[in-house]
Amino acid sequence: MDSIIPQLLTGLAGASSLFLVASGLTIIFGVTRIVNFSHGSLMMLGAYIGWSILTRLPREPEWFVLGIIATVLATAVIGVLLEVVVLRRVYRAPELFQLLATFGVVLILQDVTLWIWGPVELPLSRPRWLRTAFDVAGSRLPMADLILIIVGPVVLGLLWLVMNRTRWGTLVRAATLDREMVAALGVDQRLLFTSVFALGAGLAGFGGALSLMSASANLHIDLAVITDAFVVVVVGGLGSLTGAFAASLLIGILQAFGIVLIPKSTLVLVFLVMAVVLVFRPNGLMGRPQADAREALVAAPVVRPAPRELRLLSLATLLLAIVAPFFVGDYYLTVLTDACVAVIFATSLHFMMGPGGMASFGHAAWFGIGAYAAGLLMQWIGAPMPIGLLAAPIAAGIVAALFGWFVVRLSGVYLSMLTLAFAQIVWAICFQWVELTGGDNGMLGLVRPEWARDERVFYWVALALTVAVALLLRRALYAPYGYALRAVRDSATRARAIGLNVGWLRMAAIVIAGAACGLSGALFSYGKGSIFPTYITISHSVEALLMVLLGGLQTIAGPIIGALVYTGLADILMRSTDLWRLVLGAVIVLLVVAFPEGIAGAARRLWLRGREA
């Protein structure tokens, strides 16, 4: 086959750029145990800063190298700032809140970048020396690829030297193995963490600057890169540098060949690899089992029935919600309908994530499956809305059951990453299978029956379903099943010892959460009249996480409050300022720093102050 060599070379170049980002991410995780969502943003900044520097320099190779070095230093400084200003304050917070905080940083940096550099893509006009190509085994190897192919192993080698030949590196390795031990040795942890962040950020900036050789600086780099980097880090094993390198090679080459062999399925392929690796090696290729230390650190508070005051408040809110259509205009009516959808979306995630202890990063998958199930049924057999609303949770529940078989064995970050991977697969299918789903153009013309065509009536339908779902889920959580689910989360060892079936209990939670979420997807689609693959994006999944974490994991009212606050906040922000991401991100970061237990959790703590022994 002619195309083996060029594809291999392209794959190697791709692997190197993956490794530059993933290595920083994995080192930072190893030492600080923070899954840094904003790592992709650092690479994006690297690209933009690199563009600003390189376009101002002479075009000779030596100036290019200098410009790259300056970029690396600049992003390292930004990394230090980030660590000192934000992350240092959340090291003690639960894993998910750290993640939320770093996602807040993603939002902030998106707007900052947009504000500084504007919305237009910025390509680097490449100097002549960079446009040359070499002849390798009869095929053309561009200079940019050659540089990348060399840079990857060189960086790995340098990192290896630093890790194995310097005192600092020894500390980093020790901290990766056992954080408590390093603390006990009397090492200045702050300095260690800050310097690790500087290194990781510098590597990301390096990757960003080098990406200018073949692509332009744009505002989509952050999320696109972070997904790939997550996959690489997870496949390689969290915290393992050599694992990250091996995984980069695997995925880089797979992507390069995938494009040629089955052009439409690269995304699916990559995430499929991740799923397969995790099923057979739950800690990645070279990772070691994660200690459950954090679990013991934060004992969840006791769940008590809501106080009477809260019930009265809920009732008042519900009454208000019922009569609202008589007072608000069309615009707010759609916001209210969206809020209903958001409440189901968030409560269903909370079900598996709070009591179930399984944090899903791909909750939007069920949302999308529910939506497309309703849409396809209408297309194929003209199924009316009630059938669609019934079929959506069933379809999502069935797929959740199949998927659950893979994930119930995993825990912690790996579980989160597999859910993310699965959502990306679903997204890729919906996006790429144009004949079935209409692809990017979406599926239009999802009509409501005559009786529900009025926005007010549809709102009431949505409200009724929302209340029903929320009450049913709540009921289940107070019933033996819900307690058993919580028991499994609190102590799987004890749960097994009293005869609970850990796997099936978690599986049921995934199915219930998936089904409920599927309903919200269908509801949303009937509200808008159309279905798009964007329903399944990472951002949408993260929205669900935001709602749940904003409201707080430990109370049943939490996700509801979170969904309402988030919907309201997003609406107000989007209409009042262009910099809404910046404000939202800042709010998230502040909330995480100030109330690591969420809004409802904080309210509960204040309420209970002095009332609980």
Partner 1 sequence: MSVLVVQGLSKSFGGVQAVGDVSFAVAPGEMLALIGPNGAGKSTCFNMVGGQMPPDAGSVVLDGKPITGLGPRAISRHGVGRTFQITATFGSMTVRENVQMALLSHRGKIWQFWRPVAGRYADEADALLAQVGLEAQADRATGVLAYGDLKRLELAIALGNAPRLLLMDEPTAGMAPAERVGLMQLTRKLATERGVAVLFTEHDMDVVFDVSDRILVLNRGTLIAEGDGASIRTNPAVREIYLGTGATSGGH
Q: How far is CA 28 from the centre of its chain?
A: 17
Residue of 131, 165, 190, 475 interacting with partner 1 (CB under 8 A): 475
Site for partner 1 in 163-202 (CB under 8 A): none
Least distance CB 507 / partner 1 (angstroms):
12
Contact status: 300 vs partner 1 (CB under 8 A)? yes
Residue of 1, 302, 381, 606 interacting with partner 1 (CB under 8 A): 302
DSSP per-residue string spanning 467-512: HHHHHHHHHHHHSHHHHHHHHHHH-HHHHHHTT--HHHHHHHHHHH
Taking CB under 8 A as the rule, which mask of x and - marks residues 539-568 in contact with partner 1? Answer: ---------------x--------------
In sequence order, the β-bridge partners of residue 321 are none
Contact status: 305 vs partner 1 (CB under 8 A)? yes
Contact status: 120 vs partner 1 (CB under 8 A)? no
Helices (H), 212-240: 221-236
Least distance CB 158 / partner 1 (angstroms):
33
Contact status: 138 vs partner 1 (CB under 8 A)? no
Phi then psi dihedrals of residue 59, to 5 deg:
-95, 15
Contact status: 319 vs partner 1 (CB under 8 A)? no
Rounded distance, CA 341 to CA 343, Å? 5
Site for partner 1 in 487-526 (CB under 8 A): 487, 489-491, 493-502, 505
Least distance CB 299 / partner 1 (angstroms):
4
Least distance CB 510 / partner 1 (angstroms):
15
Residue of 184, 297, 299, 594 interacting with partner 1 (CB under 8 A): 299
Q: Which helix (H) or strand (E) holds 456?
A: helix 455-478
Look at the block and give the residue holding tokens 């075009």.
Answer: 59
Contact status: 484 vs partner 1 (CB under 8 A)? yes
Rounded distance, CA 104 to CA 445, Å? 35
Phi then psi dihedrals of residue 426, to 5 deg:
-60, -45
Q: Which helix (H) or strand (E) holds 117?
A: helix 95-117
Of 461 and 476, which CB lies nearer to partner 1 in the complex structure? 476
Residues 6+ apart with CB under 8 A from 532: 440, 442, 443
Contact status: 486 vs partner 1 (CB under 8 A)? yes
How many residues lie near partner 1 (CB under 8 A)? 34
Q: Which stretch binds partner 1 (CB under 8 A): 52-60, 114-122, 471-479, 531-539?
A: 471-479
DSSP secondary structure code for residue 105 in this structure: H
Terminal Cα distance for the chain, rounded: 74
Of 235 and 495, which CB lies nearer to partner 1 in the complex structure? 495
Taking CB under 8 A as the rule, which mask of x and - marks residues 22-51 in contact with partner 1? Answer: ------------------------------
Tokens of 347: 């409560």
Of 56 and 611, which CB lies nearer to partner 1 in the complex structure? 611
Phi then psi dihedrals of residue 141, to 5 deg:
-115, 110
Of 478 and 607, which CB lies nearer to partner 1 in the complex structure? 478
Tokens of 187: 């090492």
Q: Which helix (H) or strand (E) holds 181?
A: helix 179-184
Q: Which amino acid is at 7?
A: Q
Least distance CB 561 / partner 1 (angstroms):
19
Q: Which residues sit at the interface with partner 1, rule CB under 8 A?
A: 299-303, 305, 475-476, 478-484, 486-487, 489-491, 493-502, 505, 554, 612-613
